[in-house]
Amino acid sequence: MNQLDFQGRHAIVTGGATGLGFAIAQRLVASGGSVAVWDRDLAAGRTAAERLGAGCSFVQVDVTDETSVRDALQSTVRRSQRVDALVNSAGITGPNTKLWEYPVDAWRQVIEVNLTGLFLCCREVVPVMRQAGYGRIVNIASVAGKDGNPNASAYSASKAAVIALTKSLGKELADTEVRVNCVTPAAVKTAIFDQMTEAHIQFMLSKIPMGRFGTPEEIAALVGWLCTEDCSFSTGAVFDLSGGRSTY
């Protein structure tokens, strides 16, 4: 593992209790920092914070609820006095079905978690970073937001919106020391696969020239660097992590 410099820094990782979010939290801790795990799963969140070790904490939060996000930030700042990085990793896939058969309630839930939740977290954290004069925000988008996956219209639309939000916020903060970037992974084998059909999983695999899924550790390596001070001249950018599927 290459050593990243996150020494003495503190990050918030939403959806950090399991899967990709937890792998990112582990990488940041291994790089010398500490993490506040934000997640709605109480048991998993507590376990994650314990596994991450000293200086790390768990805050139960519903990212789709403005009050919950605001309270979570206040709790985090009281404990850590700083927020150097925000990784927006909380997300759901929604059902795999044709758009004209897509349940309206499921559509709204995917947009609420993947897009509105990310917006609310950024909305609360950005003023803290601006006041501190420093910050790094990394949004987890998806190659689906570039290419559009069939039978995943809500997920694809939400991740395309995350890419656009990243570009917009990055430009708004370009004259500060707060950097905003996103990554676009292809499929990464985590528990989120449990939300997908086997046919959809095989479709995603067939699109990856490397012929395999990514690993959480591979995603965490790039996200970790984007959280560091070394990421100084990239903002509003989209970093590909798709095994060659998307190269634009």
Catalytic residue among 102, 134, 155, 248: 155
Q: Is 155 a catalytic residue?
A: yes
Q: How many angstroms separate the first and last alpha carbons of the chain?
A: 27
Crossing angle of helices 153-172/117-132, nearest 10°? Answer: 20
Contacting residues for 112 by C-beta, under 8 A, at least 6 apart: 64
Alpha-carbon dihedral angle through residues 242, 45, 79, 7, given to the nearest 10 degrees: -40
Bridge partners, residue 241, by sequence: 185
Contacting residues for 213 by C-beta, under 8 A, at least 6 apart: 186, 187, 188, 189, 204, 205, 243
Catalytic residue IDs: 155
